[in-house]
Each structure stands twice: as structure tokens, then as C-alpha cells.
Structure 1
């Protein structure tokens, strides 16, 4: 990987962002034992279909639309028009030979910057965001600590978003003869006060928000998720 090119790309992407984007108090501490709550809901088949059609007809990814909606929620909470939040990326570039057979967790967290201009249309915002994210695809391997060291306070954030667009079959069985899968379970944790996970299914959109209970109670978290869904609805209606 071209490390210097990656450093330059992140410096440029975050240039002018000089303040952290925080929604929790500065002294908030998250540890393995910190209690979290969780809010989950489905966007609904009608909205999910409309969002997929909206993105497809405009040459956008659904991830771009979701990121823009989340940025609007974070911007409102933080009182900022220049928003930075974290995004989980797989770290498995398709162009790297043999990547699909490599074992290990290559996941990384990188900053996503969204500038919310009231004079800009939603279509313009989405096009700009997708172009910015596409330009950074080859540089997502750079560690978050180094990115934040290069970019300074503007690369600091306390919210995370993950768009889980990988397929999975819970009923799939190993091909090894004589071996049968009887059960599976997934546990996830986060070190961010707010972590949004969006998972598109065949006909819906699963949304989950993990929230630090000492800062965001269940009612606040549900309100955030409902506002997030409302923003997604408005993106389709107003564009």
C-alpha cells in the first residue's frame, strides 16, 4: 500500500475540520463493563424499496444515503454543519489478490466527513458525499490513530456507523461430512457512546442503535432512531 498517498488523501479529506464532533460530554468514558442499551426496528418494506430504487436510479449506493441521514442526526445533536463520524470498513479490497481466502479480521474504523449546507439540495449533498468516499476507498487501510494524528481535532468523533451489506444464511451447513451446525450466536460491543448499525435485507432495512445508558436513555435512543427513519423518508420525498 502507498502509505504516503494515504496520508495525503486523509489530510485533504479532513482539511479545515478543526473541532471534534461530539454528542456526549467530553469526560464520557466507555469501557468493557459500561452498560449499554439497544434499540432495534425495521424501516418497513415500502421505505426500504423506495430507498433502494432512489439510490439505484441516481447512481448512488444505499450506504451513501444512510451516511447522509446519520450525519443530519449527528449534526443536529452536536450543533454542527461540518460533521465527522466513524464508519466501520471491511478492510478487504477486491483488487488485492487472494484477499477472499485470507483469514483474520481486517476491519478498520475511518472518519466520514459530511458538510451540511442548507443551500445545497439533497441530490447535491449525496453526490458530493459519494465522490468523497470513493476517493478514499484505496486509503481505508490507514489506522484511525494515525489519521487523527495527521488531521488533528477535526478527525475526533464519538459516534459510529456500520453498514452491514454482507450476505449470510443462518441455516447454512458446513460442507464437511459428519459435521452439523446446531446453533450460532454473535456478540458485538462498541467503545463509542452511540453506534448505529444498518443492515439491508431482501425486502427491508434493519436498524439498530447501541447507546451508552449513562448519557442516552431508552426514550432518547428510540427518538434518535425514529428521527433517522424520518430523515430517510424525507430524502425520498424531497428528491
Structure 2
């Protein structure tokens, strides 16, 4: 379930051996990419960082049989990762035409989040461009993920516990989606069975429903956010909260929100490669006669205050509530990754274009 796979196309000329060399350089610079995880060590999970571990790189010319790429994507995901011994990132490149290539970049979520993909592609293709010109890549010093781990160990868990206990004080119900079975959560429906091993019979079907807002509506949302001095994420969370209030007939609702988890007080944290994201409760609470602007302001204020404690583990937050694991039945994720723009900019002046 935590298998991540990104695909993109490149046009131009690619030297596979030089790209593999730049990929090896990436892994040698970032310890998190040389990591494995073991269970059963004196009853504790253990994270091991190797001094040397090569990434898995695969190159294949599939011109005239492009269906092979689609087959590989399915097989690659089915293969998954063995956390105890596999390289937890692998890159496959398929030549699909005279000057076109399809990249399949797979990794396990335990070693990094989506933000890291743009950092990695930027570094790898930057090194590749230098190698093409027979130059030594000039790369910025690495900000080690261990700095973040050390920072985490110095956080005041008692203070965070008090904050989240106060944040959720008085919340007594469970927030459900329309028609949701009170015994089975949305998160459980990602699989065929729930935690107890029973099949879900709520009638939900797992499927993707793409929806484009369009330029006009997107512009209106951006304008509203600017007028109210809130972020787009706050705006969408507030909208979703108001919808949930209506369906639950309750002015007090809670759902999960995914945060970047990159503390601003760690120097260079925005350039670290590793897993930072966390899920925290988002509580939308308002009086029945409250205006939407008031809901927006309260949500924004809560988000700013919560940011100090948004690295606190969700299981610890849930354990201190009446609802326990039923506190959050679904999550809302707002993603804003720069990888698309970066790839286009990167290809703008070189031989290879994304």
C-alpha cells in the first residue's frame, strides 16, 4: 500500500550509462537511500543505514513494442519491496522511440515523501548534465536526514500531548461520510478487508474520479483565499469541513489532514531527502450562525498553532481520545509538488526535454 511509482517522458538523447552514474552519485550522497528496515530485533524494529548500497537501475529498448512499458509498470508494483534487503528505490528507463524515453521511478514511502522526488530529479539530472560535458558535478552540500531525527528526539512530547488533548477536548462523536457504515472506516476500504478481517459491505467502490476545476473557478478560489488572507489548503479544508457538518448534522467535525512535517527551524530542511509527512486531526468547529469567513479565519489560526506540533505521531494523538483509531475516518491531502515545472525548466536549455 505504500509503494510509490512516478512515470514521466523525456524527449531527446539519453546516455544510459551516464544517467546510471548520476543515480549512483545520488544514493552515495543521501544516507536515507541506503536504508533497510528489520523487524524482530529484540522485539523492536530497526533501521539500518549502509555505507554502500547501489540503486536498482534498468534500461531497455522497447521501440516497436511500447506495450512492454505498461506491462512492466504493473509487474513492478506487484513486485513491491522487501524492506529488509531490497534497495528501496529503483529507476527504470525505456527507450520508446528514436528520441523518446519513458521513466518509471519507484520507491517505498518509508524512505521519502512526494516532495523529495523533485529534489532527486533535480540533483540527478544536474549531475547528468555535468557528466555529459565531462565535468565533475558541482552539487550543494547534503543536509542529512539525521539532523531531522536528532531534532525529533529533542521535542517536548508532554507539551505536544497537552496541545492535542486540548485541541480535541469536547469532541465526542465520529465524523462519517454520507451513508458510511459506522464500523468500517474509509482508510480500511483501500483493502478488501478491514482490521478485523471482515469484508466491507458499505457499498463503496474504490476508484479514481479525476475532476478539473478549470481556470475560472480556480482563479475565483485563489482570489477568495487572498481576500481572506488564508492559504488554498485552508480554504479547501474549510469547505470540506462545512460539507461534513451538514451531512453529520453537527457543527463539530474532525477529519485527517496531511502536513509536510518539515520544521522551519531546521536549517535546509526543504532540501532534505527523507520521510517527513504526517497526518494530524483537522477540527472544523463553528456556531450555526457563523459566516464562512469566520470559519476560514479559525481554521487558519488553528493550522498555524498546530504547525508547532504537527510532527507528533497520530497514534499517540488517537490513543488519548475517546474514539481511538476511529477518530479519523478519512483524510484530505493537498499536494503541491514542483516536479512538473522543474522538469520542463530543466529540459528548456539542454539536449533532453521533459
TM-score normalised to the size of structure 1?
Answer: 0.67
Mark the runs of 5 or more structure 2 residues left unpaired by the alignment: 1-154, 194-204
Q: Does 1:79 align with 2:233?
A: no
> In the alignment, which of 305, 308, 312 is matched to residue 138 of structure 1?
308
Larger radius of gyration: 2
Instruction: Report the equivalent of 1:20.
Output: 174
Give the RMSD, CA atoms, in angstroms. Answer: 2.6
> How is 1:1-239 mapped onto 2 (pairs within 5 angstroms)?
1-23=155-177, 24-28=180-184, 29-33=188-192, 36-153=206-323, 156-169=327-340, 172=343
User: 3-state SS of the aligned residue for 2:321?
Assistant: helix
Q: What's the CA shift for 1:124?
A: 1.0
Higher RCO (CA < 8 A, seq sep 6+): 1
State how far apart, in whole Å, the 2-side matches of 1:11 and 1:138 are: 15
Q: Give the number of equivalent residue pairs.
A: 180
Mapped contact 2:257–2:279 kept (Cα < 8 A)? yes
For structure 1, list consecutive stretches of 5 or more residues without a partner in the other structure: 183-239
Greater shift after overlay, 109-118 or 23-32?
23-32
CA shift at 1:93, angstroms?
1.7
CA contact (8 A) 1:91 1:140 kept: yes
Distance across 2 between alignment mates of 1:171 and 1:3? 37
The answer to which of 60-69 and 15-24 deviates more is 15-24
Superposition TM-score, scaled by structure 2 size: 0.46
Alpha-carbon distance in structure 2 between the residues aligned to 1:163 and 1:70 = 12
Offset, 1:69: 0.6
